[in-house]
Amino acid sequence: MMTRLLARVLIPMPLPEPFDYAVPDGVQVQPGDHVIVPLGQRSASGVVWATAPDDGSRTLKPIEMVRGGPRLEQPVRDFIDWTARYLVEPPGIILRSVLRSPAALKPSPVETVYAVTGQPVARMTPARHAVLAALEEGPATAAELARRAGVSASVVKGLAQAGALSAREIEVDPPFQAPDPNRPGLPLTALQEEASRTLRRLVAAGGFQAALIDGVTGSGKTEVYFEAIAELLRREPDAQILVLLPEIALTQSVIKRFSDRFGVEPARWHSGLSDKERRRSWREAASGRARIVMGARSSIFLPLPWLRMIVVDEEHDPTYKQDEMLTYNARDLAVARSKLAGAVSILASATPSLESLVNAEAGRYVHVRLPARVTGSVLPDVELLDLREAPPEKGEWLSEPLVQAVADTLARREQALLYLNRRGFAPLVLCKACGHKMKSPEADRWLVEHRYTGRLVCHTTGFSMPKPKHCPECGAEDSLIGVGPGVERVAEEAVRRFPDARIEVFSSDTAQSGEDVRALVERMESGEIDILVGTQIAAKGHNFPHLTLVGVVDADLGLAGGDLRAGERTYQTLVQAAGRAGRADKPGRALLQTWDPNHQALRALEAGDRDAFLTTERQMRELLKLPPFGRLAALIVSAPDAGLVDEACRAIAKAAPSADGVDVFGPAEPPLGVVRGRWRRRFLVQAEKSVDVSAYMRAWTGRFKTPSSVRVTVDIEPYSFL
């Protein structure tokens, strides 16, 4: 008798494990196949995780259907299992992050396009003439041709019937073309050549390898990892390569540089894609046809069966860490995924994270240094402006020395960037009559005034309301005033001081789409802007050749607060911001306004002494056994009322297993005590480096039950302590 098979099917839902189903006679399934299975009263789609002989001891419901679509290969399934264990999540949740485009499981839809046959048209009309003229732009669908020619689609069909046009079916989602690794790149500098040789050797060695490209801003890191990609593709034309970039750096300019180097566009993956682009990129990635994917942090979950290299550009960037929904750090997952797939990891940054630097020092990553700029231009001179000595006037934010420096810059017809990492006009709105502060109704956050839109906005939840005419507390009219600066207010001050300058604000409010970002960057590059007032988004990755002055309005912002990485983050941000200056042949200057000029991060910046900064930062972390010298995990508990959350926390605290080398702190009320009507509490677990903190958290979460209204999330290696 033929042995029957059962299939273990993982369903993209928060279920503890795959469920078993009978494989009906005559149906063939393999691990990785997409199937439809019954689940309760409904059907659900899922992926076969394993097959096994069915001994018939249980009555299993049969698989309803095998769906087709690119199979999830073993390395992808291994990554899902590993990630679920590491993040302490059900594997179905990770699978859900992988299956992000259900439409991609079907083959590309087709459409009919028309082209000219050259056959003469017997009965020519103006409408027909317009269609033929429209075809000079190339073949297109009837609808598109009708649009171009301003006629109805029936004219196109008529021409086809008359033999003047031929119809042909094409895929709506065309495959991505294979990149050409043999096109010449830029001639490398000696430093770049040496770095690139090291990386090519890593690629040649094969298997898992990791490298850190540690190079100053403008040192040509991108060109160097392009060479590593080219080397890999020459050796293995079918290899897939994932390039991770912070979302806002994923601009047209990076894609264009890539396309120029390899002759084809890469597949892209980020939150701004249309459903159609998403479907195309996913299908092409999963089938192995897309060799190169450039994407934001969520692309770490793309199914890439032949993955051989992951590049994490700007590896220190905090946006690689997702804090909401599924908490993960795409950089950490990238290294783990490379290890599982036997691929190469390349991390690149001008300001590497302490984690990566320590890995490099310990020899776990090959340390590739690029200490000088490609153009030979010098790094900007960094100077601290002590605000205690030259405080700005009341209600103003730019000190006299900074204003003077901007004036000098403009006089030389060069550009200035005023950097402040605060969106909007004012971070706090209060009533000057009664002192009432406008608070977000859904979170422990102040509402931020946005002057351009006339609204008060919560940057945590997205809540917004028109700025009220009357104080909601005391009713006084026109009494609400914005306190403190945001970029809009700094821009207002700049306009007042430099009425003839062309001034623009660059923040996620003024540049919402990739298109907006590109347009703004282009205006800046071509010298159409004199003063750019910008947040983080302006400080990353752009090359502004005429920018010679960076004024940091508030260098202290970010140093306060209980975040263990506050100093490091400030240092990185300021180096990146300062690094925008003097990229080409003109020397640059960075002026940092501070009330605390003795802070070690600022002192190190001024001295250009990264090692001094890192040494103290390291010592502090080592002493306190903080990452990367110890491990952290957080348990965040939330519930719709305070009593409930405290009661749950008491039970959770009791259930914490005792283990060697593990300390549990909390529950504590975090700074963000209430978000969207939910009360929050946090536990922090600090463990020795050798402890498997994921296993500890799994054991802990297995030892208590909470009511369904209480939500418990685990955050492995938390970055946010709010």
The site for ligand ADP (CB under 6 A) is made up of 186-189, 192, 215, 217-223, 374, 543
Report whether 293 contacts 267 (CB < 8 A): yes
3-state secondary structure of 67: coil
Beta strands (DSSP E) in 56-164 are 65-66, 110-116, 140-141
Q: Which residues contact 28 (CB under 8 A, 6 or more apart)?
A: 66
Beta carbon nearer to ligand ADP, 257 or 676: 257
| Minimum distance, C-beta of residue 590 to ligand ADP, in the bound complex (Å) | 16
Provide the token pair at 312: 């994490």
The identity of residue 236, as a single letter, is E
Beta carbon nearer to ligand ADP, 230 or 480: 230
Provide the token pair at 102: 């259900």
Distance, CA of 331 to CA of 319 (rounded, Å): 10
For 462, other C-beta atoms within 10 Å of its C-beta total 10
Beta carbon nearer to ligand ADP, 77 or 221: 221
Helix (H) or strand (E) holding 95: helix 91-98
| Minimum distance, C-beta of residue 437 to ligand ADP, in the bound complex (Å) | 41
Distance, CA of 161 to CA of 667 (rounded, Å): 76
Report whether 525 contacts 545 (CB < 8 A): yes
| Minimum distance, C-beta of residue 698 to ligand ADP, in the bound complex (Å) | 39
The identity of residue 147, as a single letter, is R
Beta carbon nearer to ligand ADP, 33 or 247: 247
Beta carbon nearer to ligand ADP, 217 or 298: 217
Beta carbon nearer to ligand ADP, 118 or 187: 187
Provide the token pair at 77: 């399934």
* Region label for 244, one of left (φ > 0), alpha (ψ between -120 and 50) or beta (otherwise): beta
| Minimum distance, C-beta of residue 111 to ligand ADP, in the bound complex (Å) | 38
Beta strands (DSSP E) in 340-460 are 344-349, 366-370, 381-386, 415-419, 428-431, 448-450, 455-457
Q: What is the DSSP letter of 393?
A: P
| Minimum distance, C-beta of residue 383 to ligand ADP, in the bound complex (Å) | 22
> Nearest to residue 636, comparing CAs of 604, 668, 675, 681?
681
Beta carbon nearer to ligand ADP, 186 or 366: 186
Beta carbon nearer to ligand ADP, 370 or 405: 370
Beta carbon nearer to ligand ADP, 189 or 638: 189
Angle at 146 between CA 140 and CA 152, to 5 degrees: 145
Beta carbon nearer to ligand ADP, 222 or 694: 222
> Nearest to residue 233, comparing CAs of 215, 268, 213, 258?
258
Beta carbon nearer to ligand ADP, 225 or 683: 225
For 170, other C-beta atoms within 10 Å of its C-beta total 12
Beta carbon nearer to ligand ADP, 543 or 720: 543
| Minimum distance, C-beta of residue 557 to ligand ADP, in the bound complex (Å) | 24
Whole-Å CA distances, 617 to 119, 392, 413, 566, 600: 76, 31, 40, 11, 9
Q: What is the DSSP letter of 52?
A: E
Beta carbon nearer to ligand ADP, 257 or 451: 257
The partner residues of 215 in beta bridges, in order of sequence, read 370
Do you find a cis peptide bond into 707, omega within 30 degrees of 0?
A: no
Beta carbon nearer to ligand ADP, 185 or 671: 185
Provide the token pair at 680: 């929050």
Q: Which residues contact 542 (CB under 8 A, 6 or more apart)?
A: 253, 521, 524, 525, 580
| Minimum distance, C-beta of residue 571 to ligand ADP, in the bound complex (Å) | 17
Distance, CA of 535 to CA of 484 (rounded, Å): 15
**Distance, C-alpha 457 to centroid of its chain:** 23
**What phi and psi values does residue 366 have, to the nearest 5 degrees?**
-75, 130
Beta carbon nearer to ligand ADP, 174 or 371: 371
The string of DSSP letters for 68-89 reads -S----HHHHHHHHHHHHHHT-
What is the length of the chain? 722
Report whether 418 contacts 551 (CB < 8 A): yes
Alpha carbon dihedral 361, 362, 363, 365, in 10-degree steps, equals -70
| Minimum distance, C-beta of residue 223 to ligand ADP, in the bound complex (Å) | 4
| Minimum distance, C-beta of residue 583 to ligand ADP, in the bound complex (Å) | 7
Beta carbon nearer to ligand ADP, 218 or 380: 218
For 183, other C-beta atoms within 10 Å of its C-beta total 12
Q: Is 661 exposed, middle or buried (0-12, 13-18, 19+ CB in 10 A)?
A: middle
For 255, other C-beta atoms within 10 Å of its C-beta total 17
Angle at 443 between CA 468 and CA 533, to 5 degrees: 65
| Minimum distance, C-beta of residue 124 to ligand ADP, in the bound complex (Å) | 51
Helix (H) or strand (E) holding 356: helix 354-361
| Minimum distance, C-beta of residue 541 to ligand ADP, in the bound complex (Å) | 7
Report whether 672 contacts 443 (CB < 8 A): yes
Beta carbon nearer to ligand ADP, 486 or 541: 541
